């Protein structure tokens, strides 16, 4: 907590957010261990903790109101297991965007890089 508002690079970031960055950016967790709450899931014995320890993530749904950290947790999970992170918003994306993300993930896989695809607001997609 001594470095709550920056000053030293946080893990997973090239440099800390500046003093003029939005408060949410300055307080955003930099590692899974920085997540507060849900220890029964993220801790060593929890489902997410075990997946991270094994280096293998399964599909999952993160549910909650806006601003509760779903995207941040997904980014941290990708970082924790060495995956590239791709985010798509179902509100602003369509089939073409998904196909593009899948193609990029395939190219990355050919180069030995796994991809975590995060689809925000997935319930907004229609058939």
Phi-psi region of 38 (alpha: psi -120 to 50; beta: other; left: phi over 0): left
**Cα(80)–Cα(45) distance, rounded to whole angstroms?**
16
Q: pLDDT tens, 35-90?
A: 999 999 999 999 999 999 999 999 999 999 998 999 999 999 999 999 999 999 99
pLDDT of residue 22: 92
pLDDT of residue 126: 78
What is the pTM (predicted TM-score) of this model?
0.81
Q: pLDDT tens, 28-38?
A: 999 999 999 99
Q: What is the DSSP letter of 67?
A: T
Between the alpha carbon of residue 91 and those of residues 4, 117, 119, 121, the distances in Å are: 33, 15, 10, 7
Work out the burial of residue 120: count CB atoms within 10 Å of its CB; fewer than 13 is exposed, 13-18 middle, 19 or more buried: middle
**Between residues 61 and 15, the one the model is more confident about:** 61
Model confidence at 104: pLDDT above 60? yes
Lowest-confidence region among 16-30, 75-89, 105-119: 16-30
pLDDT of residue 9: 45
For residue 74, count other CB atoms closer than 10 A to its CB. Answer: 20
């Amino acid at each position: 907590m001594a470095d709550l508002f920056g000053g030293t690079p946080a893990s997973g970031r090239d440099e800390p957010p500046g003093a003029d960055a939005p408060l949410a950016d300055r307080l955003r967790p930099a590692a899974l261990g920085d997540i507060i709450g849900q220890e029964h899931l993220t801790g060593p014995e929890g489902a997410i903790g075990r997946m991270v320890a094994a280096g293998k993530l399964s599909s999952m749904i993160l549910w909650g109101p806006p601003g509760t950290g779903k995207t941040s947790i997904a980014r941290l999970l990708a970082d924790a297991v060495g995956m590239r992170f791709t985010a798509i918003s179902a509100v602003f994306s369509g089939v073409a965007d998904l196909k593009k993300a899948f193609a990029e993930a395939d190219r990355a896989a050919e180069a030995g890089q796994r991809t975590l695809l995060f689809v925000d607001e997935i319930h907004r997609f229609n058939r």
